[in-house]
Amino acid sequence: MLMKAKPALISPSDESFAALVESVTDYAIFLLDDVGRVASWNAGAERIKGYSAQEALGLSYELFFTSEDRAAGLPAAALRTAQEEGRYRNEGWRRRRDGSHYWAGVVLTALKSAEGGVRGYLKVTRDLSERHDAAERLRESEERFRAFMSASPSLMFIKDRAGRYLLVNDRFLARFGLRLDQVLGREDVELFAPDQAGRFVENDTRVFALGAPVEFEEVARYADGERVNAVSKFPIRDAGGNIVAIGGIANDISESRRTARELAETAEQLREVSNRLVEIQESERRELAYELHDRVGQNLTALNISLNILMRQLPAAGGGADDLRVRLVDALRLIEDTALCIEDVMGGLRPPVLVNFGLFAALRWYAQQFEKRSTIAVAVGGAETEPRLSAERETAIYRIAQEAMTNVAKHARATRIDIDFRCDGATLVMSIADDGVGFDAAAPGRRSGQPRWGMINLRERARAIGGRLDIDSAPGRGTKITIELRCRPG
């Protein structure tokens, strides 16, 4: 039963229809009299507006409006519109009994008598708050998406399956020098030169075929010239999982590419300079060693022979030449010391033993010299390579051993060094291990901002002869330096 107000100006004639209306809960359906007072009420009205039938009947429907709308005269204006046009439709905020607001969809229909006078109104109200919230959330989400797109330094776009642009960002337009109306709904072939459009479409096809994101580098001609882009293209799916569009993001990497290329070139040039320096150094050392050995050494030998001859010609002891003999003995010892000294120096230069007997022999010889000069025991294991390496490679490996051993003497506080030198026919491996304090080999080879040239030199020398250098060290664990290289091509 539809509840009726006291002066029931209007009443539904069909009782079963009235019962139906009364039971509807999704809609507030009620009657107003000709001045807008509630004349009937249903379950939906109670649910949505929060008034019971008792409370609502006879109330002015103005109470359902917000105070702002009431102040603006909306209740009366709505009735007037319904009266004049038969119907008033509106969506807006309405007020519940507890003062809270909801988003209402309202239809107000004028009920007229046979003579044409308004007897009252039928009001149907729906609570559309949820739909309104969803729309609001969607709008916010769209706005967030739009803000990201337009602020992004990347170029972004979405195309439909037919390759027509659905959406592009500001960066896209700026880069290609196009306007939005020129782009939307168009395909690549309509916008770009055939080769470029072909490349774009080809990559789209890959994404559609693969059904997964694809990343690649692509050259694109922009308004200001050709650029290299890192591009990511990906499928966009509908709720059913079907690919309906393709999205793309492109970042201009031309600059970083150029910087990387320049850096690599600079590094290569540096390497060449350093190799050249090493070559010059080696040739100077060769010359010095030659001078020392062939001239100073020869002269010392000649001097030694002459002094020995003089010595033999002196009268026997006590024959009046004792003073002279003492001086001669001194001179001979001096010559011997000088010869040792020269040998030592030559060890640092280019020892004849390396030239004449090979790398392994030179390492053993150098180890002996090293032991004499320090308190560190050196063991050398292995054998000569067969056949010998090129002079350049022999020298480089000899220098690596020298530098590594000098470091042991300088930094390691070690008691022994083990050198292992082997060639199994294809690869040569030399390792130099000490039992010293070790160091953090992973830390960059710098101390107080200064590069450590020794380590850099080791690496560069190894690299120059196509070898691989490995430094294995940790504080407290000693140090092992290994160089590995193919000793025979193939």
Ligand X SMILES: Nc1ncnc2c1ncn2[C@@H]1O[C@H](COP(=O)(O)OP(=O)(O)O)[C@@H](O)[C@H]1O
In the complex, the residues that contact Mg ion under the rule CB under 5 A are 407, 454
Work out how close the CB of 407 gets to Mg ion at its nearest, in angstroms, rounded to a whole number: 4
Q: What share of the chain is helix, strand, coil (3-state, %, to 5)?
A: 50, 25, 25
By C-beta, is 134 or 456 nearer to ligand X? 456
- Closest distance of CB 419 from ligand X, Å: 13
Do residues 75 and 65 make contact, with C-beta atoms less than 8 angstroms apart?
A: yes
From the list ligand X, Mg ion, none, which binds 408 (C-beta under 5 to 8 Å, kind-based)?
ligand X
146 neighbors 119 (Cβ within 8 angstroms)? no
Q: Is 438 in the site for ligand X (CB under 6 A)?
A: yes
Is position 102 an interface residue for ligand X (rule: CB under 6 A)?
Answer: no
Residue from 111, 232, 445, 464 in contact with ligand X (CB under 6 A):
445
- Does residue 75 belong to the site contacting ligand X (CB under 6 A)? no
432 backbone φψ class: left, alpha, beta (φ>0; ψ -120 to 50): beta
Nearer to Mg ion, 369 or 407 (CB): 407
How would you list the strands of the sheet with 27-33, edge to edge?
A: 27-33, 118-127, 101-112, 87-95
Choosing from 408, 419, 430, 469, the residue that interacts with ligand X (CB under 6 A) is 408
Is 479 a binding residue for ligand X by CB under 6 A? The answer is: yes
For the purposes of burial, counting CB atoms within 10 Å of the CB of 212, is it exposed (0-12), middle (13-18) or buried (19 or more)? exposed
Provide, rounded to whole angstroms, the least separation between the CB of residue 459 and Mg ion. 13
Nearer to Mg ion, 247 or 454 (CB): 454
CB of 282 to ligand X, least distance (A): 19
Q: How far is the CB of 388 from Mg ion (least distance, A)?
A: 28
DSSP string computed for 100-118: -EEEEEEEEEEEE-TTS-E
- What residue spans of 170-235 are helical by DSSP H? 170-176, 180-183, 188-191, 194-210
| 459 contributes a contact to ligand X by CB under 6 A | no
User: Considering the rule CB under 6 A, would residue 411 count as an interface residue with ligand X?
Assistant: yes
The CB-of-452 to ligand X minimum distance in angstroms stands at 3
Distance between CA atoms of 60 and 82, rounded to whole angstroms? 17
User: Which DSSP helix (H) or strand (E) runs through 330?
Assistant: helix 322-348
62: its two tokens: 């103005």
**Residue spans of alpha helices (H) in 30-97:** 43-49, 53-56, 67-71, 74-85
# chain residues binding ligand X, by CB under 6 A: 17
| 446 belongs to the binding site for ligand X (CB under 6 A) | no
Q: Which residue's CB is nearer to ligand X, number 161 or number 411?
A: 411
End-to-end Cα separation, the chain, in angstroms? 103
When binding is defined by CB under 6 A, the residue of 5, 39, 367, 455 that contacts ligand X is 455
Instruction: Please identify which residue in 200, 439, 460, 482 interacts with ligand X, judged by CB under 6 A.
Output: 439
Residues 6+ apart with CB under 8 A from 177: 222, 223
> Counting contacts by CB under 6 A, is residue 436 touching ligand X?
yes
206 binds, among Mg ion, ligand X, none (CB under 5 to 8 A by kind): none
Number of neighbours of residue 316 by Cβ within 10 angstroms: 7
Minimum distance of ligand X from residue 379's CB (angstroms): 16
Smallest distance from the beta carbon of 405 to ligand X, in angstroms?
9
Q: Is 443 exposed, middle or buried (0-12, 13-18, 19+ CB in 10 A)?
A: exposed
Closest CB 404 distance from Mg ion, rounded Å: 9
Q: Which stretch binds ligand X (CB under 6 A): 218-226, 297-305, 338-346, 402-410?
A: 402-410
SS3 at position 287: helix
The nearer residue to Mg ion, 395 or 407, going by C-beta atoms, is 407
Closest distance to ligand X from the beta carbon of 398 (Å): 16
Q: How far is the CB of 329 from Mg ion (least distance, A)?
A: 41
Q: Are strands 427-434 and 87-95 parallel, antiparallel or unpaired?
A: unpaired
* Residues in contact with 334: Cβ distance below 8 Å, sequence separation at least 6, in sequence order: none
Pick the closest to residue 149 from 225, 255, 253, 247 (CA basis). Answer: 247
Nearer CB in complex with ligand X: 96/459: 459
439 binds, among ligand X, Mg ion, none (CB under 5 to 8 A by kind): ligand X
**Site stretch for ligand X (CB under 6 A), options 112-120, 145-153, 261-269, 410-418:** 410-418
Residue 369 engages ligand X in binding (rule: CB under 6 A)? no
Among ligand X, Mg ion, none, the one that 145 touches (CB under a kind-dependent 5 to 8 A) is none
Query: Which tokens is 118 given?
Result: 């308004």
Give the nearer residue to ligand X in terms of CB position, either 382 or 436. Answer: 436
State yes or no: residue 410 binds ligand X (CB under 6 A).
Answer: yes
Contact (CB, 8 A) for 205 and 188: no
* Residue 407 interacts with ligand X (CB under 6 A): yes or no: yes
Q: Summarize as ranges the residues that interact with ligand X (CB under 6 A).
A: 407-408, 410-412, 434, 436-439, 445, 447, 452-455, 479
